[in-house]
Amino acid sequence: MFPPKTMITAASIAAAALLLTACTADASETHTGLSLDLDNLATTTTAGTEPVDEVKWNLPYEPMSLDPIFGFNYAENTVTANLCESLVRMTPDLSTEPGLATAVAQPDDTTLVYTIRDGVTFWNGNPLTADDVAYSLQRQVGETATSYFASYFVNVDSVEVSGPSEVTVKLKQPDVLFAQAMGTAAGAIVEKAAAEAAGEAFGTPDGGLQCTGPFQLDAWNSGRSIELTANPGYWDPALAPKVQRLSFSFIADESTAVNALRTGEVDGQFFYLPPAGLSQLENGDDVTTTYGKSLVFWTMITTNLTGGLADERIREALSLAIDREGLAKVVFQGAAVPATTLAGPDYWGYESDAFATAYEEFSADVDLERAKQLVAEAGAPAEPIVLAVQGSSAVHEQTANLIQAAGQAIGLTIESKVIPVEQFGNLYFDESAREGLDGFFTTNYGNFADPLDVYTMFHTADSHNYSGWDGADAPLAEARATTDPAERAELVIEAQEQITKGLSWIPLAYEPVTLVQNTRISGATASFAYLYAPWAATIGGVK
């Protein structure tokens, strides 16, 4: 996944830096105290009980589209999660429950039959039909489909209406990722008639949107705000909104956003990186900060296996020398957890005991002696190792500094090369942009609680496997086709071991969701599920 964060960090740095200098003393005092416990991350916040006229929420930037198939990023999904519902609903604890499909039958490994819920209507009053469901999925199938979720549809052969309220999906080969993706925006259902009428404009400020969620799109004032109102005809009484109006602003500048939260002009925001003003928020009386279960991680990607990081021993040495505790504390202001694998404990949606046991084998402890020994064995590369750093991002630069220091301690020369924020995104898909680089940093996330979703990116056929690392192709391919959870877990664990030892991506930190709410309200979903399920439907006023 790529640079959801690039533009945002860029816009905010200058002012954020100022703010940081302004309250350094303050921050150092309060932040030594904040340390996150992986087992204690929140999933929900206390339900608000009172009706509320309006809740103002901030997005880190303006969405590019509200059409769910173009929603694979923080701001977009934060909004669409309340508007468009998926076949399967992600719950706050990252498991799933029935959504627009009341049941999913799997007569064989390559057939999925979805029973569509009766009595559901779109905002315009039209009933939800199997036709709408089939259409919503079909438009993501095919090699040239532009859906951001297209990779989950590669094995789909056909999507057909097979009964009055039944849709059957045929797969070319078994694919466990497809079924799970139906709980993300990939499985979100839109009205066929509305989407066809609007064409390319569907989901833009001009084109409107037509879904079934607890909130309906009232207006998108381009550049200014997105306004939602409660959907009076919503089918699920458990998630009937207590909030009448939900309006989104787009404050990209971090310090401006923090100020707006402090003054109460904005009631809440989800942060994917801890903002520089985190301590000000935590110390404020008028807001609450909650850290939630999350699938987001911070990592260093090796871009090629020919340069300074070619030798696995060098990568291992570097990984052993990195002070992840220090990184979490300093770079992330305590709002992160040292990572030993890429997919952390929040990913264990099945067979969690097996995953936990496998996880125990990895450690984030620094071992300089072993690292030096590995460098001595492999021989330090003649050329410096070059890491790309995103221009004007404090998190990138500080991480690079830390890794440079780690390298120095064990005899590796590491240089950082600043890539302007406007070009950083090219690293993710343009090979020529990665020339001369050995690695770069990124935040990344899988979409549901299955480590396989992350590890699939290490298959040689995946467009994210930049270095062509091929150490786990067999278990990855087999796991994707294995529907039995216990068997799949075994294969995923095997792949995880290869991937974690191969270190073509070096895991650095797990980033929790940082949810900030004004004290006048409560109830927003605190976990990563906020990207795919109606997180605002549970918000209410606090007496």
Partner 1 sequence: MSVGSYLLRRTGGLVLVLLVTSFLVFGLLYLAPGSPLAFILGPRGGTPEQIAMVTEQYHLDDPFVVRYAAWLGDILRGDLGYSIVYRQDVSALISGRVGTTLALVSMAAIIIAVVGIGAGTFAALRGGWGDQLTSTFAAVGLSTPSFVIGVALISVFAVGLGWFPTFGSGTGGVDTLWHLTLPAIALSVASAAYLARITRAAVLEESGREHVQTATVRGLAPQRIVRHHVLRNSLIPIVTVLGLTIATLIAGAVVIENVFALDGLGSLLVRAILQRDFAVVQAVILVLVVAFVVVNAIVDFLYTFIDPRIALGSRQ
Rg value, the chain, Cα: 23
Backbone phi, then psi, for 170, in 5-degree steps? -105, 135
**In this chain, which of 146, 173, 357, 519 binds partner 1, going by CB under 8 A?**
146
Q: Which stretch binds partner 1 (CB under 8 A): 9-17, 335-343, 351-359, 374-382?
A: 9-17
H or E, element range at 194: helix 192-198
Nearer to partner 1, 172 or 369 (CB): 172
DSSP 495: H
One residue of 173, 222, 306, 357 binding partner 1 per CB under 8 A: 222
Instruction: Kindly state the helix (H) or strand (E) to which residue 201 belongs, with its residue range.
Output: none
Q: By C-alpha distance, which of 226, 87, 214, 205 is closest to 525?
A: 214
In whole angstroms, what is the distance from residue 33 CA to residue 27 CA?
A: 10
Stretch that binds partner 1, among 139-147, 349-357, 398-406, 499-507 (CB under 8 A): 139-147
The encoded tokens of residue 238 equal: 């458990």
Considering only 26-34, 149-157, 389-397, 468-476, which stretch makes contact with partner 1 by CB under 8 A?
Answer: 149-157
Q: Does 141 bind partner 1 (CB under 8 A)?
A: no
For the stretch 170-195, what's the b/e string if a residue is b when 16 or more beta carbons lie within 10 angstroms of its beta carbon? Answer: ebeebbbbbbbbbbbbbbbbbbbebb
CB of 370 to partner 1, least distance (A): 36
In the chain, the largest separation of any two C-alpha atoms, in whole Å, equals 71
Is residue 197 within the footprint of partner 1 (CB under 8 A)?
Answer: no
Q: Is 72 in the site for partner 1 (CB under 8 A)?
A: yes
For partner 1, the closer of residues 284 and 439 by Cβ is 284
For residue 143, give every residue at least 6 positions away whose Cβ sits within 8 Å of its Cβ, in sequence order, or none: none
Question: With respect to partner 1, which residue has the nearer C-beta, 35 or 146?
Answer: 146
Asked whether position 89 contacts partner 1 by CB under 8 A, the answer is: no
Q: Should residue 144 be labelled a site residue for partner 1 when binding is judged by CB under 8 A?
A: yes
Exposed/middle/buried for residue 381 (C-beta within 10 Å: 0-12, 13-18, 19+): middle
Return the number of the residue (72 or 530) whose C-beta is nearest partner 1: 72
Measure the CA–CA gap between 334 and 9, rounded to whole angstroms. Answer: 18
Nearest to 74 by CA among 420, 444, 391: 444
**Under rule CB under 8 A, residue 7 binds partner 1:** yes
Shorter beta-carbon distance to partner 1: residue 150 or 380: 150
Of the residues 160, 265, 286, 377, which one makes contact with partner 1 according to CB under 8 A: 265
Is the CB of 272 or the CB of 359 nearer to partner 1? 272
Q: Does 177 bind partner 1 (CB under 8 A)?
A: no
How many other CB atoms are found less than 10 A from the CB of residue 360?
A: 9
- Which residue's CB is nearer to partner 1, number 1 or number 368? 1
Q: Nearer Cβ to partner 1, position 121 or 426?
A: 426
Residue carrying the six token digits 């071991």: 497
Nearer residue to partner 1 within complex by CB, 343 or 406: 343
Contacts (Cβ under 8 Å, ≥6 apart) of 534: 81, 82, 85, 213, 214, 215, 239
| Ranges assigned E (strand) in 215-348 | 215-221, 225-230, 243-249, 268-271, 287-302, 337-338
Contact call for residue 205 and partner 1 (CB under 8 A)? yes
* Residue 309 near residue 385 (C-beta atoms within 8 A): yes
Sites for partner 1 among residues 348-377 (CB under 8 A): none
Closest to partner 1 by CB, 150 or 368: 150
Binding flag, residue 418, partner 1 (CB under 8 A): no
Going 202 to 205 to 208 to 211, the CA torsion angle's sign is positive
285 sits near partner 1 (criterion: CB under 8 A): no
148 binds partner 1 (CB under 8 A): yes
Least CB distance from residue 61 to partner 1, whole Å?
7
19 sits near partner 1 (criterion: CB under 8 A):
yes
**Whole-number minimum distance, CB 251 to partner 1, in Å?**
4
d(CA 284, CA 287): 6
| In the block, residue with structure tokens 């039995």 | 484
Comparing CB distances to partner 1, the nearer of 380 and 477 is 477
Report the interface residues with partner 1, using CB under 8 A.
Answer: 1-4, 6-7, 10-11, 14-15, 18-19, 22, 61-62, 64-65, 70, 72-73, 143-146, 148-151, 200-201, 203-207, 221-224, 249-253, 255-257, 259-260, 262-263, 265, 421-423, 425-426, 428-430, 433, 463-464
